[in-house]
Amino acid sequence: MQSCNYHFLIHFNSSFCRFIAPVRLSRSDSFSATTRSDEVASHVFKSDTFLRVAMTLLPITAAIVYQMDALWQLQVRNLYAGLASTIFHIFYFLQFYIHLECHSKTVTYMYTYIYHLIIWLFKTGGNVVYFIYHHREQNTFYQCIFAFRALQDTLFISSICIYKIRSYEPMICVQHKALFSVISRLEVILAILVPIFAQEDLVKRTVANISLFILYDFFSVYYHLFTLRLKWALWLFVVFITISVVNEWLYFVNHQWRICDQISMGLEFLAECSCCLVIVWQFKSKLNPTTTGA
């Protein structure tokens, strides 16, 4: 009897261990699960009218506000005039997740082209105004930064437009939960920084630092899906923006440290370039059979 009980316990334990053992998905199964999750997220996005409208209007609003702040900076000199664009700038980078769909592909292509053209006009207009401002102030370094930034924005917006017209799908999904999370983080950061922005003697030239600081945390959720070059771009993104923020705060402490201001501005530009590379490289072809590889 004891022998039977012993064999029964061994059989039960081995069966129970097999039952509770973690299920290991193959690489193809993991990719398929991720693909299904992305398809569900895309379906939810397309069925959520409020989210689609918000994701369509916010990037254009960010570009318009950027140009308005540039015009204000041109008139009010030496005072910080970029608070509004600092708030909205994060949504400029989220233009990759818009869906402008119509029954006719030709009309969809036209809407997509016009949409990104509007963003480019306002964003480039803001860069030109900032360039004129620094030309008046005889700041050669900042003139070069905004000249290169105009080129970077042109390449970025053109790439997004081409990928959308060719029906490439982004790997990174923007859902309502992620959008609300981004907005809540902005509120917390601005609650801390608004009293600093209110100082009359504050001079601030960087615009994207806050938005980039939030974006790299948002992108890191998809790190396990990134290719090697995407991981390199993300790590460079993190390094550039961290050093830029540190030097910006050092410049806040002492306005005599002009080198900190220049380092912050230059590395902010490099961080934006890295961010744009992450967004552009994460696109994948919807019709490419290799994307479902084993």
Q: What is the pLDDT of residue 77?
A: 61
Is the alpha carbon torsion for 28, 33, 38, 40 positive or negative?
Answer: positive
In terms of Cα–Cα distance, which of 125, 126, 130, 123 is closest to 74? 130
User: Is 34 contained in some domain?
Assistant: no
Q: How many whole angstroms separate alpha carbon 43 and alpha carbon 37?
A: 10
Q: What is the pLDDT of residue 208?
A: 72
Is the alpha carbon torsion for 73, 75, 78, 79 positive or negative?
Answer: negative
Q: How many whole angstroms separate alpha carbon 234 and alpha carbon 241?
A: 11
User: Is 192 contained in some domain?
Assistant: yes
Q: What is the pLDDT of residue 35?
A: 47
Q: For the chain, what is the domain count?
A: 1
Q: How many whole angstroms separate alpha carbon 66 and alpha carbon 46?
A: 28
User: Is 277 contained in some domain?
Assistant: yes
In terms of Cα–Cα distance, which of 233, 231, 219 is closest to 172? 219
Q: What is the pLDDT of residue 16?
A: 37
Q: What is the pLDDT of residue 69?
A: 87
3-state helix, strand, coil in the chain (%, to 5): 80, 0, 20
* Cβ–Cβ under 8 Å, residues 80 and 197: yes
Token pair recorded at residue 25 = 């998905």
Query: What is the full DSSP assignment across 111-127?
Result: HHHHHHHHHHHHHHHHH
Q: What is the pLDDT of residue 198?
A: 62
Q: What is the pLDDT of residue 27?
A: 41
Q: What is the pLDDT of residue 193?
A: 66
Query: What is the full DSSP assignment across 11-69?
Result: HHHHHHHHHHSPPPPPHHHHHHHHHHHHHHHHHHHHH-HHHHHHHHHHHHHHHHHHHHH
User: Is 156 contained in some domain?
Assistant: yes
User: Is 64 contained in some domain?
Assistant: yes
* Cβ–Cβ under 8 Å, residues 143 and 135: yes
Q: What is the pLDDT of residue 290?
A: 44
Residue-level pLDDT, tens digit, the chain, 294 residues: 444 444 444 444 444 344 333 334 444 444 444 444 444 444 444 556 888 888 899 999 999 999 988 888 877 765 555 777 888 888 999 899 888 777 788 888 899 999 999 999 999 999 999 999 889 888 899 999 999 999 999 999 999 999 998 888 888 888 777 778 777 777 777 776 666 666 655 555 556 777 787 887 788 888 888 999 999 999 999 999 889 888 888 887 777 778 888 898 899 999 999 999 999 999 876 644 444 333
User: Is 38 contained in some domain?
Assistant: no
Full domain range(s) for residue 172: 48-292
User: Is 31 contained in some domain?
Assistant: no
Q: How large is the greatest C-alpha to C-alpha distance in the chain, in angstroms?
A: 99
Place of tokens 């860069």: 127
> Can you give 133-183 as a three-state secondary structure string?
HHHHCCCHHHHHHHHHHHHHHHHHHHHHHHHHHCCEEECCCCCHHHHHHHH
Q: How many whole angstroms separate alpha carbon 93 and alpha carbon 174?
A: 12
User: Is 1 contained in some domain?
Assistant: no
